[in-house]
Chains A and B, each alone.
Chain A
Amino acid sequence: MPILQITRLFKDFSGLKVLLGIDLKLEQGERHAVIGPNGAGKSTLFNVVTGRYAPSRGTITFNGRDITGLRPHKIARLGLARSFQVTNIFRTMTVFENVRNAILSRNGRRYSIFPTLARMRDISEETERILDLIALLDRKDELAGELAHGHQRALEIGMTISVNPDLILLDEPTAGMSSKESRETVKLIEKVTEGKTLLIVEHDMDVVFSLANMITVICYGQVLAAGTPESIRKNQQVKDAYLGEERK
């Protein structure tokens, strides 16, 4: 059974058709990249899958369960986590608190009223383990909003993996980064998502080819091609529509 199955997915925004019947299937353990030119509908696809927008038509099943049109927190609780293209963190909370928010949610302690947080050793330890993994342990008391951009991106990824999801969606994790930062981020993603199923939207082809073992190319809201990185690289249609442009 595929972990994620998207069938004939349509989305229009008051007449503007952004997704025109997307089909996409993700198997357990797959590392799947969605690529395509600007405005192809990649981010919209992510937003529909994670519940930010309801689709106009089509179905999405996750782990065999129909999640079409569910609200974001419901989808998140089923084990589907995402990061955002524009850094989306708790800016007035500390780095530690940011990750702890994710850990608390994953442990179903969102509304616990006993004991106080300071006494929840297990939660604190788990939080510190994640912070160590994303190399932010020594900055744990800093306000998230005051971190450097690269560190904020790492925090964003850290929060996403902290909920221990079955499927991780990363929306342009290297957006706005230098090539050096970008390489480090790829390393970080490889480290923290080992053995996980990954769906990633990315512009940077180096990132895509180093992280993904399956690629779907979308263009004007439709799937142009899907396959292994090698087959995509050789695909003439894709070259014309997208890869060629990038190489100019």
Chain B
Amino acid sequence: MRRPSILQLALGIGLTAVLLAAPRMLTIVQTRMLTEIVYYSLFAVSFNLLFAYAGLLSFGHAAYFGLGAYVTAISLKNLAGMPFLAVIPLSALAGATGGAVIGFFCVRLKGAYFALLTLAFNQFLWAIAWKWREVTGGDDGVGGFVPRKSLDLGILSIDFTNVVSKYYLTVVIVIVCLALGWHLMRTPFGNTIRAVKDNEERASFLGYNASRSKLLIFILSACFAGIAGSLFALFQDFVAPSVISLSTSTEVLFMAFLGGTGFFFGPILGAAIFVYFTDWISSLTERWELILGLLFIVLVLYFREGFVGLIHSRLKALFAPGKSN
């Protein structure tokens, strides 16, 4: 288990360096796409914390992403004097609170019932976003909330209408969250989550509170999803009910599986491929969702380990003969 960890850590550091240097080499359009990849990465990893580490399949992860996005949009739009960067912790809190309330009911259930209840809560929140026009704007959404005034930090002033500034904001927040998630999974807390996933009963009889463990990872996951949603809202400067819809929930599931749920960084590659692929294919055909669906079927049938799993097993095969030396 140690070896892939170090490999993944090196990969993480390398990726960080590339991400920080990227805007110098990319066009504005490419930087926009990369920003999308970065915040979707956090969203996909948040989904996978719950799925891979706790064994809980959430079919309604857009609920927390959407909560973060709407809280960001509505608070910037309606609260005068709302400090710009405070919306990110506020969205994190919104995601976590949503996770705590929904998780409280869900973690008691197992398997399909768990998944169904997460889906039901997701649909419920979507209905609120759709119908509560006074606050959410209904299907018109909320837009134009990112302040046009530059943020003055004394030593530097940041203009958040600028794509590159938004990119750096997104990258920094996402890297902090991913590093935190990566660390947590290596502590007794992460170990507890794995132990409860493996054998809930044995864990209980060793003194572990299984429901509480599941609730805690649910809250953490929802919190990260909320932050991802906030970054989405800040970047798009527009939020509509589609962010909290079931199709967003299936997209994140797709991203995680595409990259490989067995690896911490798998969903990141998944998010990258997903964003790039959907952009490319939607420029070719209007029926791109059909192709996406077919791709998902192939993935589930033949490549369950995802791309990182595929690369991992190839690398292992490549290095296996040298292993005996």
Whether A81 contacts B205 by the Cβ 8 Å rule is yes
Closest residue on chain A to residue B198 by CB atoms: A90
Closest residue on chain B to residue A92 by CB atoms: B198
Q: In this assembly, does B276 line the interface, its C-beta being within 8 Å of a C-beta of chain A?
A: no
Whether A82 contacts B188 by the Cβ 8 Å rule is no
- Which of A20-28, A71-79, A129-137, A234-242 lies at the interface? A71-79
Residues of B within 8 Å of A106, CB to CB, are 207
User: A residues 82-111 with Cβ under 8 Å of B?
Assistant: 82, 84, 88-94, 97, 100-102, 104-106, 109-111
Cβ distance A204 to chain B, nearest Cβ, rounded Å: 23
User: B residues 177-212 with Cβ under 8 Å of A?
Assistant: 183-184, 186-189, 191-192, 194-195, 198-199, 201-210
A102 to B208, CA, bound (A): 9
Q: Which of B183, B187, B199, B205 sits near A50, CB closer than 8 Å?
A: B205
Q: In this assembly, does B19 line the interface, its C-beta being within 8 Å of a C-beta of chain A?
A: no
Whether B204 contacts A72 by the Cβ 8 Å rule is yes
Q: In this assembly, does A116 line the interface, its C-beta being within 8 Å of a C-beta of chain B?
A: yes
Q: In this assembly, does A114 line the interface, its C-beta being within 8 Å of a C-beta of chain B?
A: yes
Contact A93 to B187, CB < 8 A, known contacts A72-B204, A101-B206? no
Residues of B within 8 Å of A82, CB to CB, are 205
Which one of B1, B195, B210 has the highest number of Cβ atoms from chain A below 10 Å of its Cβ?
Answer: B195
Q: In this assembly, does B216 line the interface, its C-beta being within 8 Å of a C-beta of chain A?
A: yes
Cβ distance B304 to chain A, nearest Cβ, rounded Å: 16
Q: In this assembly, does A1 line the interface, its C-beta being within 8 Å of a C-beta of chain B?
A: no
Whether A77 contacts B207 by the Cβ 8 Å rule is yes
Residues of A within 8 Å of B199, CB to CB, are 88-91
Whether A73 contacts B198 by the Cβ 8 Å rule is no
Interface size on A, residues (CB 8 A): 36
Q: Which of A73, A100, A118 sits near B207, CB closer than 8 Å?
A: A73
Whether B188 contacts A102 by the Cβ 8 Å rule is no
Residues of A within 8 Å of B188, CB to CB, are 104, 109-113, 117, 120
Residues of B within 8 Å of A163, CB to CB, are 206-207
User: B residues 252-288 with Cβ under 8 Å of A?
Assistant: none
A112 to B192, CA, bound (A): 10
A118 to B183, CA, bound (A): 11
Residues of B within 8 Å of A90, CB to CB, are 195, 198-199, 202-203
Whether B204 contacts A73 by the Cβ 8 Å rule is yes
Whether B187 contacts A114 by the Cβ 8 Å rule is yes
A100 to B201, CA, bound (A): 16
Residues of A within 8 Å of B191, CB to CB, are 97, 100-101, 104, 117
Give the A-binding residues of B (Cβ under 8 A): 1, 183-184, 186-189, 191-192, 194-195, 198-199, 201-210, 216
Q: A94-B1, A97-B195 are in contact. List 19 more A-B contacts (CB 8 A).
A: A73-B206, A76-B205, A76-B206, A76-B207, A84-B205, A88-B199, A88-B202, A89-B202, A93-B198, A104-B192, A109-B188, A110-B192, A110-B208, A111-B188, A113-B187, A116-B183, A117-B187, A120-B188, A159-B206
